Chains A and B, each alone.
Chain A
Amino acid sequence: MREFFIKLGKIDRRVIYGIIALGVILPLLKPIGLPENITPPVKHVYDYIDSLPAGSVIILSIDYDATVLPEVHPMVLAVLRHAMVKGVRPIGLGLNPAGTGLGLDAFTKVGKELGKKYGKDFVYLGFKPNVSATILGLGENIRKVFPTDYFGTPIDSIPMLKNVRNYNDIALTISFSGSSLPENWIMYANARYGEKIACGVTAVMAADFYPYLQTGQLVGMIAGLKGAAEYETLVNRLFKKLGLKRPSVIAIRGMDANSLAHVLIMVFIILGNLAFFAAKYKEEK
């Protein structure tokens, strides 16, 4: 048995790659459908948006790029669906140049899906360089930071933004990112202007934001694919309640693959340790 574990420790890495590939592909082809438990940080974001009166304006800051698309993009889609169906009007902007196209895709897709009108129900401003200057500038006058929207239309000719000047007119800002960029929103928009901030981040970044959740500087947090799946679950319940057609559930489908990959990695850790102890025992003997 000991020899078996020692041999197992020297297994070719391509075998591991193959098992992981199967573990990811099979659940995507044949979903298991494990139920989602809703965690408090996700519920807080959902409840905050849900409590906003129709016509409120929120910012969705697209601060990620395609590297983290599978985790973060479903969050944006779910939050957009929730906001738009409640009559909350989202403004899209981005502090990551490689994320501009992703934001455009999400806003256009959900706007079309729910029959919302550009400029009246949602607006997309696009990318702006210099994170701190942009965030601080939005606290003074949105027109100075973004004189036009993404398509070059002057801000003043967009009906939705007629009465939007700064954070006083924006109920919530959600930063979606695969990095520590949401910290800038907390430091500049929340600390200086008292703007309510939430974030949607990759699972690997989530641990960094727990101190801000505890202090109340973050309204809530959507973390990783699991967070996205939880938000999709909540949005699905809302759509069902309103008698609307259930939107596509990318994150919920992906969670089965994610779960199996996690389980496989845990099995690999156990096997790796058994092999390590078997080899150590043999050496000592």
Chain B
Amino acid sequence: MLQRTIPLALVFIMGILTTIQFYIPHPISQEFYRTTIDWMNGISSMAIILAIGSLVKHHWTKVSRGQNVIYSSTTLIALTAMALIGFIGGIGQHSLFQKLFENVQIPLQATMFSLLAFFMASAAYRAFRAKTFEATLLLLAAFIVMIGMIPLGYFISPGISAFSQWILDVPNMAAKRGIMIGVGLGMISTSLKIILGIERNWLGG
């Protein structure tokens, strides 16, 4: 009952109430909406505690079982150290916390992502081939957008830049809008299935 019926009932009641609320501009309805948002904020903060607990448990289990000890212990040490440094020394611009963020996390993350340029160049060389009509079309569109997206395109001819913008404004937008409408309809149907208790995967297990 606690694991299935109550969560299902809560989702059904709140789903119906918040949907109806949107169309009723009555003070009670507005107050209900504000209270719901306050609750959402509170629950989100609690979810972070749950997430940290889950992360610690996951890596602690790995360390105790001897699996990927180096990686898991690095995660646990980094998590504890950063939290302690933040709590003790503060999180201001000149704090040790911010210095570690700027000098460790930023270079690490930026380096990882910048490797993409090398992989993209290599992949473009090996895989971006005009094998079919569709592939050729994609290749040409990519080519025009790429050259139009850099100052060189405009420098050669403003027409290249304008054509690149047209590709983004018309064919790209038409395709994107179609995808968005499909995603929107999918979201509505999935939400309805969850509210009505047809879709229960979110309950886990």
Instruction: Please report A residues at the B interface, Cβ cutoff 8 Å.
Output: 11, 13, 16-17, 19-21, 24, 34-37, 39, 65-70, 98, 101-102, 104-105, 108, 128-130, 132-134, 136-137, 140-141, 144-145, 150-151, 203, 206-208, 210-211, 214, 224, 226, 255, 258-259, 261-266, 268-269, 271-273, 276
- With the chains together, A134 CA to B161 CA distance in Å? 38
Tell me if A13 and B176 are in contact (CB < 8 A). no
Q: How many A-B residue pairs have CB under 8 A?
A: 160
- Least CB distance, B15 to chain A, in whole angstroms: 14
- With the chains together, A255 CA to B45 CA distance in Å? 40
Tell me if B146 and A226 are in contact (CB < 8 A). no
Tell me if B109 and A67 are in contact (CB < 8 A). yes
Which of chain B's residues have a CB closer than 8 A to the CB of A132? 40
> Would A259 and B125 be within 8 Å (CB), given that A66-B109, A129-B47, A140-B37 are in contact?
no
Interface pick from B4-12, B56-64, B114-122 = B114-122
- With the chains together, A138 CA to B121 CA distance in Å? 43
- With the chains together, A64 CA to B194 CA distance in Å? 31
What are the 3 closest A-B residue pairs judged by CB atoms, nearest first? A130-B44, A133-B40, A66-B109
Which of chain B's residues have a CB closer than 8 A to the CB of A134? 41
Interface residues contributed by chain B, number (CB under 8 Å): 58
Tell me if A150 and B110 are in contact (CB < 8 A). no
Inter-chain pairs besides A69-B109, A104-B98, A133-B37, 10 sampled, C-beta below 8 Å:
A16-B118, A16-B121, A17-B122, A24-B117, A34-B152, A101-B102, A137-B41, A145-B41, A261-B121, A269-B124
Interface pick from B71-79, B164-172, B196-204 = B164-172
Tell me if A104 and B125 are in contact (CB < 8 A). no
> Would A13 and B122 be within 8 Å (CB), given that A70-B114, A108-B93, A272-B128 are in contact?
yes
- With the chains together, A132 CA to B120 CA distance in Å? 34
14 pairs, A vs B, C-beta closer than 8 Å: A13-B122, A21-B118, A35-B155, A66-B108, A66-B110, A67-B110, A101-B101, A129-B44, A140-B33, A145-B41, A206-B168, A207-B168, A261-B121, A262-B146
- With the chains together, A69 CA to B146 CA distance in Å? 21
Tell me if A224 and B149 are in contact (CB < 8 A). yes
Closest A residue to B145 using CB positions: A207
Docked complex: B56-96 residues within 8 A CB-CB of A = 91-93
